[in-house]
Structure 1
Amino acid sequence: MARKNIFGADADIPKTSEASGDGGASITNLRPLANMEKPIRRSGPVGAFSQSLGSISEKAQRAADLEKRLADGQAIVELDPAMIDSSFVPDRLNGDPDDLDTLIGQIREHGQQVPILVRPHPDSDGRFQVAYGHRRLAAIKKIGGTIKAVIRSLSDEQLVISQGQENNARTDLSYIERTFFALRLERRGFGRDIIMSSLGVDKAALSRMIALAASLPDELIEAIGPAPGYGRTRWAELAALIDSGSKKSKALKLIGEPHFDALSSDERFERVFEQLRVSKPKARSELWKAGAHKAVKITETDAHLTLDFNKGAIPEFGAFVEKRLERLYAEFLEAKKELEA
């Protein structure tokens, strides 16, 4: 005895009408599977059987597609934020608290619109590591609940490329953040080809970025923060101001002042920049006279004190002092020792 309707193929198929004139009725009442709404015309039991096999094949293909999306990390999942760690190379500097508060407000009102990208943590089983979405992660930790994420198996190189390219696409990082990120990547041994791919810049631009970041103390960059209102030109000017040792010391002293952290990031940049560019006092210049003779011109700056002997006034005096420099130095050390005793 033949087994009928083994796949239930004709459960929703209306009976054909011989009077229809076209060999079968149009199947318009079938429920679409996964948005596949195109009508399928079949005639007779063979057609119904073929349709059933086709539906099974479509379901299997959709299942295979879903498995591939999961394997490729294209499916969005919900994760516990407490199980997610930051990237091993930070790309952000501490900004203004108000910016994070704004993002928290947006997520509270509209929900998390864009998932973050994570990878399984290379050193901690069961944990994850962010490639991008650090601010969203920080916001969700404040709000509470799970975070939407895409999980992908990424090498270190793939992670930093994804991290940099996503931020480039969102124009999310300030100039100094991108520049400092490039320097951090190079310090960790990444090749410049990887860094160029991450930041979307050419070799010449990358060289300038790394040179600029390297010319500034790390602690100064971190203390100022992203300074979104200032680009390459102003940061290069700051680096030029800080080139001397005394200016560097002054800058580091400024970032340690009370209430410096209370300023916005742009205000912190302005504070350091304006204090360092203050005009230096004019060099001291005076004449030392020996009787009626203008014997020595004395010029003093922050870095130098110059004695300019007037040989026309007293020809041998300069040479006389020169020969006694060692004796004078010994007397200086002895006097210094007595003062410190």
Structure 2
Amino acid sequence: MARKNLIEISAPNTGRADAVAAKDNRPIAGFLPQQRSGGPVGGITRTLGNITEKMERASDLERQLAEGQTIIDIDPDLIDGSFVTDRLEVDPVELGQLVEQIREHGQQVPILVRPHLEAKGRYQVAYGHRRLAATKALGIKVRAVVRQLTDDQLVVSQGQENSARTNLSYVERALFALRLEQRGFGRDIIMAALGVDKAALSKMLIVTRQVPLALISAIGPAPEIGRRRWLELGERLESVASEPIVAELSADNCRKLSSDERFQQAMALVISKPVSAKPPAAPSEIAGVPVTLKRTPARATFVFDSKAAPGFDQFVQERLQALFNEFQQGKET
């Protein structure tokens, strides 16, 4: 009889378990309550498991905060633009459409900013310039991710976001590459920012050297004009003065044209009526060296004086690879 009573005492109290299960199981801080067991060892194990899980979630939250993955609202007046411009102009029609979209549906995609390196309490935008302008026009705060970024990380984020959204024209991307190069960024950073290889980057920089910046600015972003047409314009400009073309494109009647139409106008002027041909570039002497340099916007040519220094051209040719490697290393560093 005593054995029977012992077994009955050890049996689980199903009524009490049901009562526990019927309690409110709403999640607290993202965790669901675990089913309880009468065993002390199981309870300790589950307690330790919960502590570990909470510590892991706390660490993950801390990591996200450190990486700037939390979204906060910031006054647009506290945010400055990137230190590298990536746009020639903002289309007022597109900006107006974005303003109406945010007014109706809210800002769906946050912008990326970093704490300003020189002005305490201010921020610098990596990407999202149009969203920033739209929220400023609406007089509302902008949703932003704040992240500690180096200059390299900022320009890579800026370039990759624009590449992903494909809302920069070819010549705007080329100008972005040029500005990064002028600021001393290495080719690897520029290629990462634009998502291009060495050959594509080289062609972009050729365009910015062949086509004067004043003419690019007069034409505008020309979103429908790609690499081939810009390279063609640059090649034709080698023998044509660009100043009269810039002046004509800057006239009021041309400013009313779309950017793509201004490009077509510039091409027509170059082909049909070059206003004044450029005189051939006079070779320049290099002091103390029997070599003269002929330079055009697209290329440079060294001319060796074989009479003054026989064999010097061969001597330089044999060392070109080493010189080029040294040049590349300097660009990367």
Return the TM-score normalized by structure 1.
0.70
Q: Is there any run of 5+ residues in structure 1 with no aligned partner, and where?
A: 1-16, 282-300, 305-341
- The one-letter code matched in structure 1 to 2:248 is L
Structure 2 residue 194 is the aligned partner of structure 1 residue 194: no
- The one-letter code matched in structure 2 to 1:145 is I
Q: Distance in 1 between matches of 2:89 and 2:180?
A: 18
Distance 1:235 1:80, change over 3 A: same
| Post-superposition offset of 1:52 | 5.9
Q: Deviations over 1:252-295 (max 9, x none)?
A: 212321243333222222222223222569xxxxxxxxxxxxxx
Distance 1:56 1:30, change over 3 A: farther
Q: Distance in 2 between matches of 1:24 and 1:101?
A: 61
Structure 2 residue 36 is the aligned partner of structure 1 residue 42: yes
Contact 1:94–1:222 (8 Å) recurs in 2: no
1:172 equivalent in structure 2: 167
Which of 234-243 and 186-195 deviates more?
Answer: 234-243
- The one-letter code matched in structure 1 to 2:255 is D
Q: Deviations over 1:21-42 (max 9, x none)?
A: 9x944746422234444x7332
Q: Is there any run of 5+ residues in structure 2 with no aligned partner, and where?
A: 1-10, 280-333
Structure 2 residue 83 is the aligned partner of structure 1 residue 88: yes
1:31 equivalent in structure 2: 26
Contact 2:240–2:277 (8 Å) recurs in 1: no
Q: Deviations over 1:145-187 (max 9, x none)?
A: 1001111111111111111111111112111111111011101
Structure 2 residue 257 is the aligned partner of structure 1 residue 263: yes
Q: In the alignment, which of 238, 243, 250 is matched to residue 244 of structure 2?
A: 250
Contact 1:27–1:40 (8 Å) recurs in 2: no
1:296 equivalent in structure 2: none
Q: Distance in 2 between matches of 1:80 and 1:236?
A: 42
1:321 equivalent in structure 2: none
- The one-letter code matched in structure 2 to 1:144 is G
Distance 1:245 1:82, change over 3 A: same
Which secondary structure state, in structure 2, belongs to the residue aligned with residue 235 of structure 1?
A: helix
Contact 1:260–1:268 (8 Å) recurs in 2: yes
Q: Distance in 2 between matches of 1:34 and 1:43?
A: 22
Contact 1:140–1:146 (8 Å) recurs in 2: yes
Report 1:102-121 matches (<5 A).
102-121=97-116
May I ask how many residue pairs the two structures share in their alignment?
267
Q: In the alignment, which of 194, 205, 229 is matched to residue 224 of structure 2?
A: 229
1:320 equivalent in structure 2: none
Contact 1:227–1:265 (8 Å) recurs in 2: yes
2:215 equivalent in structure 1: 220
1:207 equivalent in structure 2: 202
1:134 equivalent in structure 2: 129
- The one-letter code matched in structure 1 to 2:140 is G
Return the TM-score normalized by structure 2.
0.72
Q: In the alignment, which of 126, 140, 143 is matched to residue 138 of structure 2?
A: 143
Contact 1:175–1:228 (8 Å) recurs in 2: yes
Structure 2 residue 107 is the aligned partner of structure 1 residue 76: no
User: Identity over the aligned pairs, expressed in percent?
Assistant: 52
Structure 2 residue 234 is the aligned partner of structure 1 residue 239: yes
Q: Distance in 1 between matches of 2:90 and 2:255?
A: 10
Which secondary structure state, in structure 2, belongs to the residue aligned with residue 145 of structure 1?
A: coil
Contact 2:170–2:226 (8 Å) recurs in 1: yes
Q: Distance in 2 between matches of 1:211 and 1:236?
A: 8
- The one-letter code matched in structure 1 to 2:102 is I
Q: Distance in 2 between matches of 1:275 and 1:252?
A: 10
